[in-house]
Amino acid sequence: MKFSVLLVCTGNTCRSAMAEGILKSMIPRKYEDDVIVVSAGTANLPGMPATPLAREVAADHDVDIDGHVSSGLSSWELDLADLILAMAQEHVTAILEMDAGAAERTFLLSEFAEQASEDVPDPIGGRPEDYEAAFEMIEGYLEEALPKILEMVGEANQ
């Protein structure tokens, strides 16, 4: 049974798009067939590519998000997700307003990583440095969260 991780932000063209690419690149080969990593936005236009700066910063870190296409958050995606990681508290709130039953599977990324309780700032419309800072913040949280995610994958497949 595949374990599904859903990463959520607002537009699904910057933060969660980069987070999806980062997490996919971190999953060890032995788990590739056991994990699905997807992303969505709480308020977006579906079908949009990742922003040029998000693609550029990701590529600078050997993470390919060139084929990313934005998706709007749906109750169907929430039902399928085993773990939901939100970039900001406003996304956690939106998720729980859409599906209160998702509360036990929904976390602010920074809290899930047990680092802090802070939002990943939205770089949309910002400078390259803003995208770089968001990428590095997301990458750091996902590095901290990865062992816990892989443990959850293992438990789901027992």
For the question of residue 9 being annotated catalytic, the response is: yes
Q: Which of 14, 15, 55, 99 is catalytic?
A: 15
Q: Which of 34, 105, 122, 130 is catalytic?
A: 122
For the question of residue 14 being annotated catalytic, the response is: no
Q: Which of 9, 55, 82, 119 is catalytic?
A: 9
- Helix/strand/coil (H/E/C) assignment for every residue in the chain: CCEEEEEEECCCCCHHHHHHHHHHHHCCHHHCCCEEEEEEECCCCCCCECCHHHHHHHHHCCCCCCCCECCECCHHHHHHCCEEEECCHHHHHHHHHHCHHHHHHEEEHHHHCCCCCCCCCCCCCCCHHHHHHHHHHHHHHHHHHHHHHHHHHHHHCC
For the question of residue 122 being annotated catalytic, the response is: yes
C-alpha span between 109 and 94 (Å, rounded): 15
List active site positions. 9, 15, 122
